[in-house]
Structure 1
Amino acid sequence: MELRIFTEPQQGATYDEILAVARCAEDAGYGAFFRSDHYLKMGGVSGEPGPTDAWTTLAGLARDTSRIRLGTLMTAATFRLPGPLAITVAQVDQMSGGRVELGIGTGWFAEEHTAYGIPFPSLAERFDRLEEQLAVITGLWRTPRGETYDHPGRYYPVTDSPALPKPVQDPHPPILLGGMGKRRTPQLAARYADEFNLPFASVADSAAQFDRVRAACAEIGRDPAQLCWSNALVLCCGRDDAEVARRAAAIGREPEELRANGLAGTPGEIIEKIGEYAAVGAQRLYLQVLDLADLDHIELVAAEVLPKV
């Protein structure tokens, strides 16, 4: 099981604070550092010092780290046009030496769209736009050098594009899709995803959704083994119950609720819970770290859990 660190900087974090977590994760041996793509704090008004842009952050981290992989859970398709996004991701992939991954979704947080003047169409239209974005992004990246790309799309028509720049990774950076949608989500994952991710889902719900994606793969003749299967879970680890309770309080949660719905408890408890996810097919876990100042938390899991999973 690969463990990755996942952060939510829209809750209030500077670039330097994000960088400290990314470097700690890199030094501790985690597989990747991922961040959310949001422009508004959840559960409050202020969110001081304010949001940071996901891809601006990743561009900085591409130069300020050296080994750890970098990505988004999930870039909102509502925030960016697919052509410029393909350019941005390819450039950050070059800046990082080929360490970038693109998690992308429909966008879901209506309030952040109204807070910053971003259109927020219906869910059905957001899925249509996401599907077309995936076609354009992968089409641009896969177009051979020296050739041009055209896409006669409804939302994002592309004509005579030089399809540049190219990312370092061939044919392109890994694409992550995810979510619990029962029809279009599995279909899009089967067609476009290199990794399928479930955020904050139970073991049972993960098993059911993984099966839906496997079935969608079978419908188009794709081997499900070509996908990586992953979960994202809130992390709250402590050496004893008192430390678990302290860390839960720091993020405004209850220890028993986190034990039931996240990845919480002592290292032994967390190792056992990881085994339950592994049993239904998960190969990678994104550990959502909400207190970015608590680097000891990241180091504890690296020392006591990472070597045993």
Structure 2
Amino acid sequence: MTIRSDQTLEPVRFAYWVPNVSGGLVVSRIPQRTSWDAGYNRKLAQIAEEAGFDYALTQIRFTAGYGAEYQHESVAFSQDLLAHTNKLKVIAAILPGPWNPTLAAKQIATISQLSEGRIAVNIVSGWFAGEFRAIGEPWLDHDERYRRSEEFIRALRGIWTQDNFTFRGDFYRYTNYTLKPKPADPQPEIFQGGSSRAARDMAARVSDWYFTNGATPVELRKQVDDIRAKSVEFGNRPKIGVNAFVIARDTEEEARAVLDDIIAQADPEAVKAFGHEAKNAGKASPEGEGNWAKSTFEDLVQYNDGFRTNLIGTPDQIAERIVALKDAGADLILLAFLHFQEEVAYFGREILPRVRALEAAREAAPAAAAA
């Protein structure tokens, strides 16, 4: 596989899913030493910062389901994590519909000022129709949800960077609107997720970052090449993040046994219910290629197909697979764990240094060859 020259100079970055929603990050009855409460998450953020993580991503849920009986709101929770850390950036998930750009822009601008620029946003276009119906929000068709999200992002950027901002969209409209104070420098980064044609096209036009569900290097490379080619005409260059679930043990056999145990103890009804909603959302894209459209039962035990990325094995194996993802175009790996605090610490101690050593060896090789 060809290594992209523009990525060899930049170290791959790491983010973790914030468990601000109960039930952990697998739909399984297996014991998880992970908690959704504030104290646990404050300590986790400090561990992640010390371990070398760059970002934390809070989740947004408005209704219970699939083991997630309790949910802390993402923006407020993000601010709390920022107040208990010094370097970590926190990405707050925001869902157009319940939020409008005016509220989101003002919230994030204030948090940016308070945190000296450590807040970012993840614009979630929505996949759970039942959630929208439960809170009385219209459920738009698949591509319409992404059109709304794109307008949301354009509105955020305009409010954050312009005075007397005027915008005429189908979903949002502004006339000579000025927000002060604006966010601190640097401007909040804008993330988005998806795998569909509409998601990739939106990323190419307006987003700073594109998150995709778990994928092999070959699958990831296809998406990266597609987005890169599309983004050229818009003068944009979104960075790419891929989801992964990490199971690191002394041997690959031990790690695989943990995976087998997670799947064996999966809650079939919850997984099938989640799969029904998620697959419907993915297949609703005109090309039928959205997130989860082809996920198996085993894939769906981890919310975002994290097992498919295959960061399961020894620290050496996982580090090598991370570098392979980087070679395929990943700028960031978004990680989940079974037991967050201890496994995030272990990742920082045992895996991240191996990744950096592999990156350094790659950097040194051309110089050595030239000498």
TM-score range for the pair, normalised by the shorter chain length: 0.7 to 0.9
The residue type paired with residue 318 of structure 2 is I
SS at match of 1:80: coil
In the other structure, the counterpart of 1:299 is 345
Number of residues of Structure 1 aligned to a counterpart in Structure 2: 294
Equivalent residues in 2 for 1:232-271 (5 A)? Answer: 232-240=243-251, 241-242=253-254, 245-246=257-258, 249=261, 252=265, 260-271=308-319
The amino acid across from 1:11 in the alignment is S
CA distance in 1, matches of 2:306, 2:103: 39
**TM-score normalised by structure 2 residue count:** 0.72
User: Which residue among 304, 327, 330 is the counterpart of 1:279?
Assistant: 327
Q: How does 1:158-307 map to 2 (within 5 A)?
A: 158-170=174-186, 172-182=187-197, 184-220=198-234, 222=235, 224=237, 227-240=238-251, 241-242=253-254, 245-246=257-258, 249=261, 252=265, 260-292=308-340, 295-307=341-353
CA 1:283–1:127 in 2, change beyond 3 Å: closer, same or farther?
closer
1:141 aligns with 2:155: no
**Which residue pairs with 2:18 in the alignment?**
7
CA contact (8 A) 1:258 1:264 kept: no
Using the alignment, how far apart are the partners of 2:39 and 2:158 within structure 1? 35
C-alpha distance in 2 between matches for 1:75 and 1:244: 35
CA–CA distance in 2 between the matches of 1:218 and 1:121?
29
CA distance in 2, matches of 1:196, 1:37: 17
Equivalent in the alignment of 1:71: 91
The match for 2:74 among 46, 54, 58 is 54
Shift of the 34–41 alpha-carbon distance from structure 1 to 2, 3 Å rule, reads same
Q: TM-score, normalised by structure 1?
A: 0.85
Mapped contact 1:271–1:308 kept (Cα < 8 A): yes
The answer to whether the Cα contact below 8 Å between 2:14 and 2:54 also exists between their aligned partners in 1 is: yes
SS at match of 2:41: helix
Pair 1:142–1:223, CA change in 2 (3 A) = closer
Cα RMSD (Å) = 2.5
Give the equivalent residue in structure 2 for 1:22.
45
Following superposition, the deviation at residue 228 of structure 1 comes to 2.2
Q: Does the CA contact (< 8 Å) of 1:237 and 1:247 recur in 2?
A: no
Q: Is the 8 A contact 1:75 1:104 kept in 2?
A: yes
Structure 1 pair 201/260, CA: closer, same or farther in 2 (3 Å)?
Answer: closer
Q: Secondary structure at the match of 2:66?
A: coil
For 1:180, give the aligned amino acid: S
Summarize the Cα distance change of 1:185–1:151 in structure 2 as closer, same or farther, 3 Å threshold.
same
- Quick one: distance in 1 between partners of 2:196 and 2:255? 36
Distance 2:220 2:98 in 1: 28
| Residue 103 in structure 1 maps to residue 149 in structure 2 | no
What CA distance in whole angstroms lies between the structure 1 residues aligned with 2:262 and 2:226?
Answer: 37
Q: Hey, what does 2:7 align to over in structure 1?
A: none
Structure 1 portions without partners, runs of 5+: none
Q: Cα–Cα, structure 1 residues 203 and 78, in superposed 2: closer, same or farther, change >3 Å? A: farther
- Structure 2: 5+ residue stretches without partners: 1-11, 24-35, 267-297, 300-304, 356-371
Q: Deviations over 1:201-221 (max 9, x none)?
A: 23222111111111111233x
Q: Is the alpha carbon distance of 1:103 and 1:33 closer, same or farther for their aligned partners in structure 2, counting shifts above 3 Å?
A: same
* Structure having the higher Rg: 2
Indicate how the Cα distance of structure 1 residues 78 and 236 shifts in structure 2: closer, same or farther if over 3 A, else same: farther
Letter in 2 for 1:151: F
What SS does the aligned partner of 1:305 have? helix
**CA distance 1:200–1:18, shift in 2 (3 Å):** same
Measure the CA separation in 2 of the matches of 1:91 and 1:248. Answer: 45
Shift of 1:306: 0.5
Q: 1:34 aligns with which of 32, 57, 60?
A: 57
Q: Select the structure with the greater relative contact order (CA < 8 A; seq sep ≥ 6).
A: 2
Amino acid at match of 2:231: C
Determine the C-alpha separation between the residues in 1 that align with 2:306 and 2:316.
15
Query: What amino acid is the match of 2:327?
Result: A
In structure 1, C-alpha distance between the alignment counterparts of 2:307 and 2:143, rounded to whole Å:
34
Q: Which residue of 1 is the match for residue 103 of structure 2?
A: 84
Report Cα offsets for 1:103-149 as digits up to 9, x if no partner: 21311122322344433222232122112111111100110xxx311
Give the secondary-structure state (helix, strand or coil) at the position aligned to 2:329. Answer: coil
Whole-angstrom distance in 1 between the partners of 2:306 and 2:257:
10
Q: Which moved more, 1:32-41 or 1:85-94?
A: 32-41
